[in-house]
Chain A
Amino acid sequence: MSQKYEFTKEELAEIEKIKAKYPDKKPPVMPVLWLAQNKFGHVEPEVQHLVAKTLDLPPAHVYGVVTFYTQYYGERKGKYVLDVCTTLTCQVCGGYEILHHLEEKLGIKAGETTEDGLFSIQSVECLGACGYAPMMQITNGVYCNHLTKEKVDKIIDDLRAGKLPEYENMPFYQHGDPEPSKS
């Protein structure tokens, strides 16, 4: 708890660049919160105060923004946050089965974090990958598509070994052969 939250010189330079994109002092709050969350893994109140101070904004404003957007972690979460989509297409294509499989496998319920702090599970709203349902996202990052229980098991094993799944290029069937285009 006594950890001191600060931005490095490089990060402050990055923040200056972000500020230059906007004609006002409020807009950088979202990109800077992202920057802070990527660095600290969360945006708990101390981090919110750091962001407010850095951008010269009222702390209440930053707090309001953090709590409005679901991707900001106002509370600390596990190292890997497994956001399982259960909305509409994912629901009818087995999103809840994936979620329950994960819950059983990790011994926690959606919204909880494993004791070792490695995994959190969340049941989340549509992630915009409906054609690739069921799916989940790992810690606001990579998408894991077309999930099966076996695929989930492998992902968990890989994550335990510190290996994140790679970006999957999803096929565009119309082009005949689904072709990958890595960036």
Chain B
Amino acid sequence: MPEIFIDNIRYEFEGKPKVLQFMLDQGLDHPFFCYHPSLSIPANCRQCYVEAGTPVMNRETNDWELDENGERVIRYFPKLMTSCSLEATDGMVIKTHRTSELVKRGHKDVLEFILMNHPLDCPICDQAGECPLQIQTYKYGPEGSRFEHKKVHKPKRIKLGPRVILDAERCINCTRCVRFTDEISKTHQLTIISRGDKNYPAVAPGTEFDDPYSLNTVDICPVGALTSADFRFKARVWEMNQTPSIDITNGKGCNTDVWVRNNLVLRITPRYNPDVNDHWMPDIGREDYRRMNENRISRPDLKLDGNKIKSSWSNAEMTFAETISNAKPEEFLVLGSAFSSLEDNFTLQKFFKSRGIENISFVTNIQKGSGDGFLMDDDQYPNTNGCRMLGFEELSPATFKKKVSGGKYKVIISLEDDLLGREVIDTTDLNSAFFVYFGSNNNKTSEAADLVIPISNSVETPSTYINVDGRCQRTVPAKETIYTNRKLNLEMSVGRLDRYGTKFDNWVSDRNRVDCIPGWEFLERVALLDNSNFGYETSEDIIHEIAHTNSNFSGVSYEAMDEQLGVQLKVTKETKEKTA
């Protein structure tokens, strides 16, 4: 196998990797700005210098030439090389800042130039704390500045589009954003304008940066030049904790990180998954943080004489138990939901199966033509495949409306799915049936329901979803409910503020915790009333059971999903046809 020597350590490599990417893959730290593994390589920041040499081949013996000590004769490139664009070749010798004073000097020199025109506004810059320039300046930068002249001034606070704001003075001209719109989102909305140290990214006059993926440019901007109009100035990065999650606004299931401070989700960013979303996610998925925080249902709601009143949990459990014992199996309409997790859907199925109700259905939310073939699918719900694989009856909105409006159902039970809000049915379709709704957010459907069970959402309880391509992925709880505790639940991430904050700190309070429990837990509690419960203590127990009872899900576990960035399931022929 071909070999490469980096700082005198031998590595083997396959294929034709670039030296920088190879070093990063080996866990070697090396500074860079413009390089991005998913974009073309412009080699323009010149930060990733290395010294590089190749062994000299003796044409006669067809072997490496050796010096008097028996060492290979190395011919070094006369200049410092940018490792991002340098292809590894057999026998190549690389010296980084660890072994070469010249490389160390090179890194420092470039940083001196970059910082020359870069404003010293880290204390008010959103990027601070997660800024490659800041980090690399600490690690590799010059001790002080010799630049005692006027900096170049450029436009600040430019609204490039509805979601992205530009501070051109902070821009180091790495062109990542321009390359993103050219190569990934392909809207070609950005360009670098002007020349030399006057240049900066811009949109054409009279146009705006309304690319549906525009916020990815904020993520990949290595400085604070591009910031999110929404998140700007909301929080310092180090005050938030970061938790892996899944975007549930779409069937694609982009992998995300949710960032929480004081138990509120403040932003959502994409998390790398080469099999699903690479480094990217659509802007619309990032707005979902509002749903996680706002307009939440807290404590069960009960309709009494047409008026909604708050109820206790035990009252809600009794009411639910009573309602289901008063009706015959054929009078039930039990709806799973492609919006809800596998855990809740499975428990619902199991709960009613044990009560003689085999048929669970769900209503699809597929907007034909709304997808873009990239990270936005026609399917608006994250778990359509999950419902299919559980064997739920798949109903189109129209079929469902016909089915429900006959009035033959006395009890309708639905997992979270805003059927009224998305105009599948209206209140008249419900007739006089008793309607039980499991939901996280207030909406038209919860308003119409007779009993509303507030359930934890995808960032409050581990939730598993099967995306449109059959990838089984799960979320990790990021937000506490009244009944969960970050410090006790070892799975939840604990940030600096969570750990050390006191109630005298600005961002620490007991507010923002919702009185809700996971949907499966409610069903477990109801079942406990007649001792028919399943013994689930955590949501992981449910996934364990699914994996071992339904062959569609064999191999699925939280551990596997966490380690392999999701588990790829076989999408059966049947489910594929239905998708088509």
Contact = CB atoms under 8 A, between A and B. Distances in A.
B204 interface: yes
B517 to A, nearest CB: 50
Nearest to B205: A45
A88 to B, nearest CB: 18
A68 interface: yes
| Dominant secondary structure at the A interface | helix
B123 interface: no
Contacts of A48: 204-205
B194 A60 contact: no
B188 A68 contact: no
A48 B193 CA distance: 14
A67 B198 CA distance: 11
A67 B194 contact: yes
A61 B206 contact: no
B159 to A, nearest CB: 16
A63 B194 contact: no
Interface string A45-83: 100110010000011111110011000000000000000
A59 B188 CA distance: 8
A49 B207 CA distance: 10
B205 A61 contact: no
Given A60-B188, A61-B188, A52 B204 contact: yes
Interface in A6-60: 45, 48-49, 52, 58-60
B385 interface: no
Contact of A58 (B189, B192, B193, B202): B189
Contacts of B191: 60-61, 63-64
Interface residues of B, number: 15
A63 B202 contact: yes
B146 interface: no
A19 to B, nearest CB: 19
Nearest to A52: B204
Nearest to B188: A58
A63 B188 contact: no
A43 to B, nearest CB: 11
A68 B204 CA distance: 14
Nearest to A49: B206
A45 B194 contact: no
B141 to A, nearest CB: 30
B220 interface: no
Interface string B510-547: 00000000000000000000000000000000000000
A49 B206 CA distance: 9
A59 B204 contact: yes
Interface string B187-201: 111111111000000
Interface string B168-206: 000000000000000000011111111100000011111
A45 B203 CA distance: 11
A59 B207 contact: yes
B188 A45 contact: no
| Shortest beta-carbon contacts, A-B, top 3 | A64-B191, A59-B204, A58-B188
30 contacts: A45-B206, A48-B205, A49-B204, A49-B206, A52-B204, A58-B187, A58-B188, A58-B189, A59-B204, A59-B207, A60-B189, A60-B190, A60-B191, A60-B202, A60-B207, A61-B188, A61-B191, A63-B191, A63-B193, A63-B202, A63-B203, A63-B204, A63-B205, A64-B191, A64-B193, A67-B193, A67-B194, A67-B195, A68-B193, A68-B194
Given A45-B205, A59-B204, A68-B195, 8 more contacts: A49-B204, A58-B188, A58-B204, A59-B206, A60-B191, A64-B191, A64-B192, A67-B193
